[in-house]
């Protein structure tokens, strides 16, 4: 008889039973239905803007179809309304459609296809007249559509029908002239142009004029009337899908719709750029940087929905145009991909501070103590300026536009304008009241919170310490310069900022921070102008902020020239071409590196600091500094930082040992009375000074602002 080791027959029996069980399970599996493969997922992309910031009732949408999902089975609806007919597989290989008829508020867009999961996204639509994120709109508002050639306004938002006109470049005169598609000039009279994509097209420009966000906008682009523009998925060859945005100058709290600056930029248009702007991008009409950013966003959305997707967007503009570029690039990154600020200021609110200070200097030097300051060199030493004319211009000419509630913008003379005696509830025309949706209201009178403060500022400190002024001049200046009350009435005491305004100024980006600015190429352009408000120091202020906030300023290029105010030729033209090359190189960089890294890595060799003298580019900065010197601002002379962004300083006790100057006992007693709570300690940050709480602040829920939530994306839902 065969014998085995102990336990082996039992194990053989176990294996036999397991084999039988496996066979049985396999038989059952053969009878069961097959397990389906993973379900393909549809994706909805809202192309024209963030899905929660759409305006005007339209949105360009793409549905991304997974492999093996047939486009013929796709069904798209919005709010239960079938919009499938708006979609098609376009010549660019993408399934795109323009969804129209969106209602104000949330609209749920749904995409279904056979063999794929259902996708949804919520599109939040806003009125074409705004607002979107800028908060409650200021009033009253005077429509200008008749003056702008659009006929009477159709509603309180000053909307009017869009109109189109054409201009062409005359081959005989080299000038632009009106073009009538129904009766065009002889073919030989129309110039041609070669775009930067090497397309030869007739030099005919279509200008769209319409209304948006209570402004009037113009959009200019090469346009051949004899060829179709088959929707945003098939632009004409003349457009290179790049955009130039010119921003208008100055800063005024106007209550009028106004008209836009010219968009007929030959250098840009001839190369295939689209040029667009709005009256809401002219700070001389509407000094609200948040509304300016909102308008650029709305215009870009409209362009994408009507003309096609944009490759990149360049800004340019002088003075108030520079302010807008700095604010938009810092606070709403992505709207501008490269900026060219000219005759630049870093922001509105530190400019406001110097306007107010200059008005105090003008009053003090001219009216309070002219006998104590006979020498212009001493007055300039206190202000840091090149001449008396600098602070006189800012204080006498410009300050009322910022501070005076009865005279700012176009407000003077209207029965709705504030008057402290006859109309205390009227519209106040200061910058802060014009931006009350940002700043909020003071509880004591309902006026907008104001961030201006000069408590503890030792005007002329470094001039005193360097021996340029006498102790008596320093003491008299600081005890008698005073401040401005909320109605721009002079007061003996210093001005104090409304406490809520200070954290708002920094947290919401009203004082520009360099963090987001590192993500854009900046070419700063100057015509040297040290004898009025646009003096050259402003460029160095912006650079100081970039250095502090990023550790470098490698994305910032400064070009200067001796022409007054505006840059000399060919500086601006060369800067435009350089910016285009820089952005094209960034666009071609497909690495996963952060954008700020790409900006520096793709910086062209020609993008270096320079001055342009007699048309020649000089990169020797020591020579440029001799040829085009720059001066400083009053708060820097008072001991403030080069970043010029302390709105209200922290204080320290007045200490006689802090000075190398000897004061008499009487002078010291007067200083103690002038600074009862102490003097500025600029070794510390300003009161409430902090980095922005995040880009893309919205004021839709009220003053103060808060960063937008992440942009909506499509989600898969059960059928």
Per-residue HEC secondary structure of 404-470 comes to CCCCCCCCCCCCCECECCCECCCECCCHHHHCHHHHCECCCCCCECCCCCCCCCCCCHHHHHCCCCC
Choose among 308, 327, 298: nearest CA to 221.
308
Length of the chain: 719
Q: Which of 62, 152, 229, 21 is nearest to 713 (CA)?
A: 62
Percent of all residues in the chain with a pLDDT value above 90, rounded to a whole number = 93
From CA 247, how far away is CA 116, in angstroms rounded? 46
Give the CATH number, domain containing residue 99: 2.60.40.10
pTM of the model: 0.94
Q: How many CB atoms lie within 10 A of CB 610?
A: 21
Do residues 713 and 62 make contact, with C-beta atoms less than 8 angstroms apart?
no
Residue 227 belongs to some domain of the structure: no
Residue 526, number of CB atoms within 10 A of its CB: 31
Identify the segments of the chain with pLDDT beneath 50. 1-37
- Predicted local distance difference test score (pLDDT) of residue 413: 84
161-189 pLDDT per residue, tens: 999 999 999 999 999 999 999 999 998 99
Residue 569 inside a domain? The answer is: no
47 within some domain? yes
Q: How many CA atoms lie within 13 A of 376 on its CB side?
A: 8
Q: How far is residue 672 from each of residues 469, 653, 675, measured CA to CA in Å? A: 20, 10, 5
Asked if residue 630 lies in contact with residue 619, where contact means CB atoms within 8 angstroms, the answer is: no
Is residue 650 a part of any domain in this protein? yes
Residue 483 CA to residue 21 CA, distance in Å, equals 95
Is residue 331 situated within a structural domain? no
pLDDT value at position 695?
Answer: 97
What total number of domains does the chain contain? 2
C-alpha span between 78 and 98 (Å, rounded): 12
Q: Within a domain: residue 410?
A: yes
What is the span of the domain harbouring residue 102? 40-126+712-717
Q: How far apart are CA 432 and CA 411, in angstroms?
A: 15
483 found inside a domain? yes
Q: Which two tokens stand for residue 517?
A: 């600015």
Taking the CA atoms of the chain, what radius of gyration do you get in angstroms? 32
Burial class (CB in 10 A: 0-12, 13-18, 19+), 370: exposed
Q: What pLDDT score was predicted for residue 38?
A: 56
CA 200 to chain centre: 34
In the chain, DSSP finds a helix count (H) and a strand count (E) of 19, 31
């Amino acid at each position: 008889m065969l014998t085995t080791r102990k336990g082996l027959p039992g194990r053989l029996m176990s294996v036999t039973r397991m084999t039988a069980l496996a066979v049985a399970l396999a038989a059952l599996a053969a009878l069961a239905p097959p397990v389906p493969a993973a379900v393909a997922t549809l994706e909805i992309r809202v192309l024209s803007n963030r899905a929660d910031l759409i305006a005007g009732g339209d949105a360009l949408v793409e549905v991304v179809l997974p492999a093996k999902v047939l486009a013929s089975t796709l069904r798209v609806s919005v709010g239960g309304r079938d919009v499938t007919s708006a979609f098609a597989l376009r010549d660019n290989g993408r399934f795109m459609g323009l969804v129209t008829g969106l209602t104000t508020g949330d609209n749920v867009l749904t995409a279904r296809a056979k063999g794929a999961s259902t996708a949804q996204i919520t599109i939040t639509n806003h009125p074409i007249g705004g607002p979107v994120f800028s908060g409650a709109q200021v009033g009253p508002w005077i429509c200008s559509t008749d003056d702008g050639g659009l006929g009477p306004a159709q509603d309180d938002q000053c909307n009017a029908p869009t109109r189109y006109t054409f201009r062409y470049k005359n081959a005989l005169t080299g000038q632009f002239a009106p073009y009538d598609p129904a009766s065009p000039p002889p073919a030989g009279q129309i110039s041609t142009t070669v775009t930067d994509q090497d397309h030869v097209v007739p030099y005919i420009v279509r200008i769209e004029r319409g209304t948006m966000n209570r402004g009037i906008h113009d959009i200019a682009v090469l346009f051949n009337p004899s060829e179709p523009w088959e929707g945003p998925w098939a632009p004409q060859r003349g457009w290179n899908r790049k955009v130039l945005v010119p921003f208008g100058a100055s800063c005024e709290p106007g209550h009028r719709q106004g008209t836009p600056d010219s968009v007929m930029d030959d250098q840009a248009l001839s190369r295939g750029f689209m040029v667009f702007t709005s009256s809401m991008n002219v700070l001389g009409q509407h000094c609200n940087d948040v509304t300016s950013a909102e308008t650029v966003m709305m215009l870009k959305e409209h362009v994408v929905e009507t003309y096609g997707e944009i490759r990149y967007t360049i800004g340019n503009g002088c003075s108030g145009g520079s302010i807008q570029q700095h604010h938009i690039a810092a606070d709403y990154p992505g709207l501008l991909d490269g900026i060219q600020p000219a005759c630049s200021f870093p922001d509105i609110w530190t400019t406001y501070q110097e306007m107010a200070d200059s008005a105090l200097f003008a009053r003090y030097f001219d009216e309070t103590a002219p006998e104590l300051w006979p020498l212009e060199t001493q007055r300039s030493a206190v202000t840091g300026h090149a001449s008396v004319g600098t602070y006189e211009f800012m204080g006498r000419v410009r300050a009322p536009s910022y501070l005076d509630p009865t005279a700012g913008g176009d407000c003077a003379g209207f029965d709705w304008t504030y008057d402290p005696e006859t109309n205390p509830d009227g519209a106040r025309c200061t910058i802060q009241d014009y931006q009350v949706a940002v700043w909020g209201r003071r509880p004591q009178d309902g006026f907008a919170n104001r961030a201006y403060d000069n408590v503890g500022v030792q005007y002329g400190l470094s001039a005193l310490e360097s021996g340029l002024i006498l102790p008596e001049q320093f003491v008299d200046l600081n005890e008698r310069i005073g401040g401005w009350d909320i109605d721009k009435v002079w007061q003996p005491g210093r001005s104090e900022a409304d406490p809520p305004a200070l954290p708002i100024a920094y947290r919401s980006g009203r004082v520009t921070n360099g963090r987001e600015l590192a993500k854009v190429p900046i070419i700063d352009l100057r015509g040297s102008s040290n004898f009025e408000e646009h003096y050259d120091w402003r460029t160095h202020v912006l650079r100081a902020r970039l250095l502090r906030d990023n550790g470098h300023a490698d994305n910032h290029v400064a070009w200067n020239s001796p022409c007054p105010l505006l840059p000399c030729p060919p500086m601006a033209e060369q800067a435009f071409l350089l910016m285009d090359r820089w952005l094209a190189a960034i666009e071609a960089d497909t690495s996963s590196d952060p954008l700020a890294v790409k900006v520096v890595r793709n910086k062209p060799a020609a993008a270096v600091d320079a001055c342009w003298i007699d048309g020649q580019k000089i990169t020797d900065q020591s020579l440029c500094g001799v040829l085009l010197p720059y001066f400083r601002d009053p708060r820097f002379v008072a001991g403030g930082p080069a970043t010029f962004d302390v709105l209200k300083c922290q204080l320290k006790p007045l200490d006689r040992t802090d000075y190398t100057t000897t004061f008499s006992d009487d002078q010291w007693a007067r200083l103690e009375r002038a600074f009862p709570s102490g003097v500025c300690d600029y070794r510390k940050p300003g009161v409430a000074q902090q980095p922005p709480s995040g880009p893309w602040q919205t004021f839709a829920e009220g003053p103060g602002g808060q960063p937008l939530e992440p942009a909506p994306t499509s989600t898969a839902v059960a059928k």
